Amino acid sequence: MYKDGLKSGDQVDLSGMLNLFDLEKMAERKMTTMAYEYVASGAADEWTLRWNREALDAIKLKPTVLSDVSQLDTRVTLFGHELPYPILIAPTAYHKLMHPEGELATARGAGAASAVYVVSSFTTTPLSDIAEAATQPLWFQLYVRDDREFTKDIVQEAEAHGYRVLCVTVDTAVTGVRNRQQRANFTLPDDMQTPHMPGSLLEQKPLTWKDIEWLQSFAKTPVLLKGILNPDDAEKAVQAGVSGIIVSNHGGRNLDTVPATIEALPRIAEKIDRRIPVLMDGGIRRGTDVVKAIALGASAVLVGKPVCFGLASAGAEGVAKVMEILRNELELTMALTGRASLAHIDRSVIW
């Protein structure tokens, strides 16, 4: 939903977009109030939404000088695949709200930026079409429905189209209090469909560990649990045999006053003790944030809202711009803190 009649193929000048905050401002000008509020808002009084940023800002870096940073190595291997840098596109819903080409533009932008794109269950574009447009690996985010056959079919469809990892959202037994979204009278246009997930979040199944066991009984791809904040749950995830976890508070959109993900991360990483990869989302806006997350135990991070704003600003080019800005800032931060590779980023880089 866009104010200025944005059409497929329109060219947008992004030369003045120096950081992710610039792109958000551009997106706000282009999007309808309803669409912008949907992306930007959080739950209830939005404490957690703010804490995600404030907690990252409060962490100070401790650089070391005179290290050889002439060659920087940002590669990371996740679930058998090497990624050129440790920043992924998080799953977010309803991309046609942000741009006419929707998830196709996101996939093309991810391809241009050599980034993994995690496609939402609430995609407004069929999984098959996204797979055709993609030139980089795709993962799939799953909401489990009451109908097990329906759920099994969508998992197997994603696998058939080459989606490499299954990210199961586990923090949404019910939808949170979203007052700001309600005030904006959020609703999908009549002509906008979610082909793989009819209905709303209210129709999702409250999950138990038995459901995770059931999913793993037939899934051929690695299974990740997205939405872990409690270290005890992280331990249960390891015991359940999942391939990885994503430390997430749903972008501050579900339960307000839970901690920022960067605060939960080190406790969970300590509990996991490198047995499985730990990823993190929530509040990432700068390359310095990426370094802080890796230093505190993350193998990689995911970004959601900024990608939506890049998509709204300039389609595929805007998505690529978001990822390229973050990648460049990550490299600059590594050089300026004296860390030549991700393996050299540990707690010693935190003041």
| Feature table: binding site for FMN | 91-93, 120, 141, 169, 226, 248, 281-285
Residue 293 contacts residue 324 (beta carbons within 8 Å): no
**Binding-site residue positions:** 38, 91-93, 120, 141, 143, 169, 178, 226, 248, 250, 253, 281-285
Q: Which residues lie below 8 Å from residue 100, measured CB to CB, with a gap of 6+?
A: 6, 7, 8
Query: At residue 338, what is the residue type?
Result: G
Bridge partners of 168, per DSSP, are: 142, 225
DSSP structural state of residue 129: H
Tell me the Cα Rg of the chain. Answer: 19
For residue 326, report the phi and psi dihedrals to the nearest 5 degrees.
-65, -40
Sign of the C-alpha dihedral computed for residues 85, 140, 129 and 6 taken in this order: negative
3-state secondary structure of 300: strand
Closest CA to 181 of 35, 21, 47: 35
- Point out the residues that are catalytic: 250
Which token pair is 87? 């920043």
Residue 202 contacts residue 174 (beta carbons within 8 Å): yes
Strands 76-78 and 81-83: antiparallel
